[in-house]
Structures are given as C-alpha cells and as structure tokens.
Amino acid sequence: MIYSRFTIGRFFVRSIRLLSLATFALAMPNVSACGNESAEIPEREDPPEPPQALERWTEPSVPPYPIFEPQNVFRAPPAYDHLLPHLGDPDAVRFANLYHMASNRQMRGPRSESGSYQRSGREIAQGWRQAAASVKGIFAHRDGLFSQQDHPIDQGVIRIMMPPSWVSVAVDATIRSRPLEDVRAPPLDDDRAWTSIASARELFGSFPPSDSLFRAATQRLGVIAEDRLRVTSARRSITMLARDVQAMVDVADQGAEAVAAAGAERIAMSDLQYFGTRVRREHMILIMTDNPSIHELRDEGRGFDVYGRDLTEEAIEMARRAVIQRRMRDGDVAIERYNISLGPERRRSIRTLTRLLDGAPREATLWLFAHGGIDPDGGGQRDAFPFANGYRSELEEAGLRDRVRLVSVPAVPIGGRGLHERLHEASRRYRAVRLPLHLNLGTPLTKRLLDRLQRE
C-alpha cells in the first residue's frame, strides 16, 4: 500500500506528541500535600453502601407445630409426676411428663457485650416452641410490655404482646366518651419522622408510655449492626402495638364491650403468632398478674390497672374478663397471686374466679397461684400448703373445684444435707394435698436427685 507524504507526516507528528506527554507525566515531580492534590493519589475507594431499607411490617403468620428430635428429655417416675421444676434453658434437661416453670429472661440466653441478646429473636422463639412441645407444659409470664418472651428492644422481635392494661385504658376512655389517641408508628426507616417525635407521651398517645422504648425507637438508624438492631426492634415493637391499638380504635363507636373484645382478640392472636396454635393449646400456660404488688404495677406495668391513673373498676373488670376468657379459648391461663390464708382474700379470689369462668370455655383450666401470707420473720411469702384443702372446699361450694387448679408460691426450698431425701419428703406432703410441688431447683439437679432416689 502506498502512503502520501502528507499521511506519513501526520502519523509522525502524532507519535511525537504522545511520546512527549508520557515522558512529561513520568518526569513530573510530586505536588506538595498542602496544595489542591494529595502527595500520593490513593486507590479509589467505593463509598459505603447505605443501610438496606427496612421492609414494611406485616402481620406474622402462625408458626406450625415444631418437628425436631428432642434432646435431653426424660420421664420422671410416677411417684414424682407432680413436681414442678425450673427450666432455665430451652436445651436443658427436661421431663416429658412434668409441668415446668420458665423465666423469659433466662430462656433468651446470654447477652453480648453491647447488651443485646446473642440469640436472634427467631432462635429464641423456636427454643420456646421446641421446649414446650417436648414436655407436659410450661408456665411462663406473658403479661407486661417487658414481661413476655420478646424483649421489645434487645432482640429481633417476633410478635410483641400488647399489655392487658392497655385494654383497660381503651375501655375506660370509651366508657367516659373520651377520644383515644393512637400510638404513633411512622414507616420503619423514616428517620426524620421518628426523630421528630419529642416525647414518650407524644409517641404512645393515650397509653402508658415507656421511656426506654421511646429513646431506642427515636434514635437514628446507623450502620453498626447491634445499634441498628436495637432501633429497628424498638420501632417494630411500637408498630405492632400501634396495630393492636388501632383495632380497638376502629370499634370504639360500637361501645366498651366491643373495644374490650377487640383488644382481647389482638392479645390472643399475638400468643398464637408467637407459639403456634397447637403449642399454645397443649403446652403453654400463660401467667397473668391479676393481683399485682405496687412494684409490679408501677415499675413493670403488670396487671389490668395502670399506676397513677384513675381507671374505673368497670373498665378493669371488663378488660380482665374479655382478655382472660379469650385467651382460655386457646389454652390454659394462670393468674397470680392471692393470699388464701385470709378469709377476705379467699372470698375476693373466689368472686374473681366465678366471674372469669362464667362463660369461659370448659376445656381450658384456670390455674390460681396462691400463697399463705407474709412470713412473720420477714422472710417473704409463705407457701399455700397449709391452706390448700380448706380453700379447695370453698371452691367446691362455689362450684369451681373442677375448673380451678392451685399452684403454691413461692417455690418450696429444697436445701441442706441429703437433698434427695428432702425432695422425697416434700413430694409426699404435696401429693397428699394434690398440689404441684413448685421447686426452687433447676431441671438438671432435679434429674440427679430423682436418679439417686431411684437407685435407693
């Protein structure tokens, strides 16, 4: 191919220019760091990805009955099938033919250094379901904002329960023809809306506020995983509560009974969404504090009344009856705690039980946690053992004997030398009055003592 002089000249000039630019770039000295450029040009770093947007909360489905291979599950000898030991961990030793007491805090497992629980909310819920499905039954508190299986802040919540006292508040407002202020729940990832909420009172509207939940929910979403978990868990908890409240607000024009029924339905639904229908019906006995102490009422928000508020007795009674009867459609319920050593307290408890069982489903049992008064030595409450037979006679006169079962509180202390012999002695005494032997022992020690009794 023949090229013209002009073409060859253009190619030559262009080559010289490119070579000169490359040589200049290599020979150019570094620019001082105090100028507009850095002393060394770093590799380009991609900006951090923004936190993933939170999904809009939707009603959780009811979980199925757990299918699993149970581990560490044994059977207590028939002579000891009325023992009620303490289950401290979902994977601990347990007994297929015994009822167990369980602590919400212990069943969640250990916390991390930041304060959040190491197990996820899903793992904690699955632990409850599997542990309950492998035993005769588990007694567990589910009766307050911070007295339930989900912690509203320190774990990923599965289904927070609306406190029963909130039903009393809504019923009371309806009776008095007062408007209900909703719980505020902006979209989960709307930082501007959440951080603009100025107070717990503004967040919770007509309902008892929680300062700790307010503080957690109104922080900005960050990128640190555990901090973000606390904020999102708090916001999800409030969103669930807002949905429950809305169900009561929606029927307020139908009257107080409709409000009570709507609130009771939402509470019962939260039970099923957490435990599952069959686990709830066959294995979970939910404890409600119907007769709370001042500490439980003021500091823990338990019971149907609200500390510092003048709720009518009519509203409290309507809420109590609606919530407990609705829960009894799904399984057993336990209420605490009454002093059956005193005549007036016994009569008050029987009046309460009569109202609650009038119209309640007969297939469910209502358990009564009872004690025997204050120890004269100031050591706390005495157990109900000496008064059980007399109280049961009064239940029979009221037509309630077959519908109410007693549990004595506090737990019977088994200590000192010869633990297995002390356990055997206490077991015989409690069987004689047909009471569960509520133990201060965990399930591993209970098994060791039963094994020794069997050997001897």
**pLDDT one-digit tens code per residue, 60-117:** 899 999 998 889 999 999 999 999 999 999 999 999 999 999 999 999 999 998 889 9
Task: Look at residue 426 in the predicted model and tell me its pLDDT.
Answer: 96
Q: What is the pLDDT of residues 236-249, one digit of tens each?
A: 999 999 999 999 99
Identity of residue 221: L
Residue 215 reports pLDDT greater than 90: yes
pLDDT tens, position by position, 375-422: 766 567 899 999 999 999 999 999 998 999 999 999 999 988 999 999
The answer to whether 236 and 121 are in contact (CB under 8 A) is: no
Please say if the pLDDT value at position 39 is more than 60.
Answer: no
φ and ψ of 382, to 5 deg: -90, 155
Looking at residue 198, its pLDDT comes to 97
pTM here is 0.86
Half-sphere exposure of 54 (CA within 13 A, CB side): 20
Q: Determine if the peptide bond prior to 179 is cis (ω within 30°).
A: no
Q: Phi first, then psi: give them for residue 12, nearest 5 degrees.
A: -65, -45
Query: For position 5, what pLDDT does the model report?
Result: 39
Per the prediction, the chain carries an average pLDDT of: 88
Entry field: residues in the chain: 456
H or E element, residue 130: helix 121-133
Positive or negative CA dihedral for 269, 274, 276, 278? negative
Nearest partner of 104 among 136, 144, 62, judged by Cα: 144
3-state secondary structure of 288: strand
Which residues, listed in sequence order, are joined to residue 7 by a DSSP beta bridge?
none
Assess whether pLDDT exceeds 60 at residue 286.
Answer: yes
